Amino acid sequence: MNYLEIIKETLEKERARIVAVSDQIWEFAEVRYEESQSAALMAQTLEQAGFTLTRNAGNIDTAFVASFGEGQPVIAILGEYDALPSLSQKANLDCFAPVVKAGNGHGCGHNLLGSGALAAALAVKACMQALNTGGTIKYYGCPAEEGGGGKAYMARAGLFADVDVAFTWHPWDENLAYNARMLATNQVKYLFKGKSTHAAFSPHLGRSALDGVELMNVGANFLREHIIPEARLHYAITNAGGNAPNVVQSEADVLYKIRSPKMQQVREITTRVHDIARGAALMSGTEVSIEFDAASADLIPNVTLATMMDEELSKIGPVTFTREEKAFAHAIQQTFSEEEKRLVAKKGKVLAEDLTPLRKEPDFLNGSTDVGDVSWLVPVGQVYIATCAWGTPPHSWQMVTQGKSTYAHKGMLLAGSVIAASVMRALTTPSLIAAAKAEHTRQLDGESYNSLLPPEAQPRPLNR
26-83 pLDDT, tens digit each: 999 999 999 999 999 999 999 999 999 999 999 999 999 999 999 999 999 999 999 9
| Whether residues 229 and 325 fall in one domain | no
pTM, 2 dp: 0.94
pLDDT of residue 463: 55
pLDDT of residue 447: 84
Q: State pLDDT tens for residues 86-101.
A: 999 999 999 999 999 9
pLDDT of residue 461: 77
Strand partners, 258: 186, 233
Rounded CA gap, 125 and 51, in Å? 9
Q: Which residue from 35, 21, 27 is spatially nearest to 99, judged by alpha carbons?
A: 27
Rounded CA gap, 347 and 356, in Å? 13
End-to-end CA distance of the chain: 52
Mean pLDDT of 293-310: 95
Q: State pLDDT tens for residues 398-449.
A: 999 999 999 999 999 999 999 999 999 999 999 999 999 999 999 998 888 8
- How many residues are there in the chain? 464
Mean pLDDT of 218-230: 97
pLDDT band at 360 (very low <50, low <70, confident <90, very high): confident
Q: State pLDDT tens for residues 313-338.
A: 999 999 999 999 999 999 999 999 99
Among the candidates 296, 322, 338, a domain finishes at 296
Q: Report the relative pairing of strands 180-182 and 363-365 from DSSP bridges.
A: parallel
| Whether residues 119 and 212 fall in one domain | no
| Whether residues 261 and 278 fall in one domain | yes
Domain assignment present for 239: yes
Domain assignment present for 463: no
pLDDT band at 451 (very low <50, low <70, confident <90, very high): low
Domain count, the chain: 2
Mean pLDDT of 354-379: 93
pLDDT over 80 (residue 458):
no
CATH number of the CATH domain containing 285: 3.30.70.360
Instruction: Report the run of H or E that residue 416 belongs to, with start and end.
Output: helix 406-428
How high is the mean pLDDT of the chain? 95
Q: Which residue from 169, 165, 149 is spatially nearest to 157, judged by alpha carbons?
A: 149
Q: State pLDDT tens for residues 111-122.
A: 999 999 999 999
Domain assignment present for 456: no
pLDDT of residue 459: 80
| Whether residues 325 and 365 fall in one domain | yes
Q: State pLDDT tens for residues 386-401.
A: 999 999 999 999 999 9
| Whether residues 397 and 304 fall in one domain | yes
| Whether residues 151 and 194 fall in one domain | no
Among the candidates 296, 313, 338, a domain finishes at 296
Domain assignment present for 461: no
pLDDT over 60 (residue 267):
yes
| Whether residues 433 and 370 fall in one domain | yes
The answer to whether residues 73 and 135 touch, using CB atoms and an 8 Å cutoff, is yes
Mean pLDDT of 4-16: 98
| Whether residues 129 and 194 fall in one domain | no
Rounded CA gap, 403 and 81, in Å? 12
Rounded CA gap, 242 and 264, in Å? 37
Domain assignment present for 451: no
| Whether residues 170 and 58 fall in one domain | yes
pLDDT over 80 (residue 456):
no
Host domain of residue 281:
184-296
| Whether residues 438 and 365 fall in one domain | yes
CATH number of the CATH domain containing 412: 3.40.630.10
Rounded CA gap, 426 and 307, in Å? 13
